[in-house]
Structure 1
Amino acid sequence: MAADGMNAALISRARKIRLVAFDVDGVMTDGTLYLADDGQEYKGFNSLDGHGLKMLKSSGVELAIITGRSSRVVEHRARNLGIEIVHQGAHDKLAVYETLCRELGIACETTAYMGDDVVDLPVMRRAGLAITVPAAPDLVKAHSHLITTREAGRGAVREACEFLMRAQGTLDTVLAPYLK
């Protein structure tokens, strides 16, 4: 990244991050909800995003999911990725987020939140690094520090993970085993 003022400030924010919390619909997925006649919910997750999350966790950054919807598929995905902190049905995401920070003993400025809609703004405005996707409403973009170039459910999470690891100087170490 270039070392101009904005990028330097963004990198400085990213270097402090110890916890990243993610919304699901519209961030980890493209936001489409598939509902079967029996009420079963289906979501499509991107494998590149999933591996990015695993790499970020292996670099020492804690991961969490805070989502307003409740779905068994999210439980399965989180378990598959090794994400232990999962809060579903979070209608007051800010309250969940602040409780999480207190329980983990971390300052809000050492957290990032990736969301895509106005319901995510209270957390995004409190976190040290707010990340969103290109399809987010303009108001959400206006309150974001980083807008990914990739779309939700199409590599946006991976892009955010790699950005954080690059800023923290851990990306090369995480990628090294794949280059042997």
Structure 2
Amino acid sequence: MARLDHRAELALILFDVDGVLTDGTLLIGPEGEALKPFNVQDGLAVGLLRHHGIRSGVLSAKSSAPLLTRANQLGMDVIKTGFQRKLDALSQIVESTGFAPSRIGFVGDDVIDIPVMRRVGVAYAPSDAHPLVRDAADIVCTRAGGRGVAREVAEDLLAARGLDLADMYGHLIDDDDALLSLVQ
């Protein structure tokens, strides 16, 4: 079975942070990293995935207060930061969740992401990822890092489950409270 056929079976999607959920810009002040520019569309994507039964998380080589704040704001299920050897983190995730690697997807943008991309069920890359990462990806997004990649991935995963856009977002369209809970 081709890896793309596994999209409908994914139970968890993991995102690298710098270059995927952000555009890769690091804003460093005298006290260290002070800000990280996240895209609000990706926040809604995490809620969308949750509503449709797909867990989400971050897997990053770096750790920062802005990253932890955003992941916690969004209620991500898995937060693994500070892992230069991302396969070690993936092993911990497999053990703690009980999901086989084939039920996990990953979105990465740089060469340190390739080992994880090779182990999971489906691998994605932003359009501006390193060329070797784009080659390793099963799907290369049309969006660049920090420009709604998570939203594009969420919609792709839900489309693989047979949902159209109206099905994906129907629960939000007439429910202002549900919308407000997602736009954080």
Please give the TM-score of this superposition, normalised by the length of structure 1. 0.90
Match of 1:177 in 2: 171
Specify the alignment match of 2:81 in structure 1: 88
Deviations 1:66-92 (CA, angstroms, capped at 9, x unpaired): 101110111110111111311110111
CA distance in 1, matches of 2:120, 2:87: 10
Kept in 2: contact 1:129–1:145 (CA 8 A) = yes
Secondary structure in 2 matching 1:25: helix
Q: 2:72 is matched with which residue: 73, 79, 98?
A: 79
Q: CA deviation at 1:35?
A: 0.4
Please report how far the alpha carbon of residue 60 of structure 1 lies from its aligned counterpart in structure 2 after TM superposition.
0.6
Distance 1:87 1:111 in 2: 14
Q: Which residue number corresponds to residue 36 of structure 2? A: 43
2:103 paired with 1:110:
yes
**Identical residues among aligned pairs (%):** 34
1:152 paired residue number: 145
**Alpha-carbon deviation of 1:34?**
0.4
For the residue of structure 1 that corresponds to 2:32, the secondary structure is coil
Q: Tell me the amino acid that sits aligned with residue 170 of structure 2.
A: A
| TM-score, normalised with respect to structure 2 | 0.88
Amino acid at match of 1:98: S
Deviations 1:95-115 (A, max 9, x none): 110221122111111110000
Structure 1 runs not aligned, ≥5 long: 1-7
Q: Which amino acid aligns with 1:31?
A: G
Structure 2 CA distance, aligned partners of 1:11 and 1:40? Answer: 37
Q: State the aligned residue count.
A: 173
Q: Gaps spanning 5+ residues in structure 2: where?
A: 175-184
- The letter of the residue matching 1:159 is E
Q: What residue identity is the alignment partner of 1:70?
A: S
Give the AA of the match of 2:78: I
Name the amino acid aligned to 2:42: D
Q: Aligned-pair distance for 1:11?
A: 4.9
Whether contact under 8 Å (1:19, 1:62) holds in the other structure is: yes
1:130-151 alpha-carbon deviations (Å, 9 max, x no partner)? 0001111111111100100011
Q: SS state of the match for residue 19, structure 2?
A: coil
Name the counterpart of 1:63: 56
Q: In the alignment, residue 108 of structure 1 is paired with which amino acid?
A: P
8 Å contact 1:34–1:42 — kept in the other structure? yes
Match of 1:18 in 2: 11
Contact 2:4 2:138 in 1 (8 A): no
Q: Give the RMSD, CA atoms, in angstroms.
A: 1.7
For residue 139 of structure 1, give the secondary structure of its aligned residue in structure 2. Answer: helix
CA distance in structure 1 between the aligned counterparts of 2:24 and 2:18, rounded to whole angstroms: 5
Partner SS, residue 102 of structure 1: helix
Q: Which residue identity lines up with residue 98 of structure 2 in the other structure?
A: G
| Structure-2 separation of matches of 1:149 and 1:24 | 17
Counterpart of 1:5 in structure 2 is none
- Residue 9 of structure 1: how far off its partner (Å): 4.7
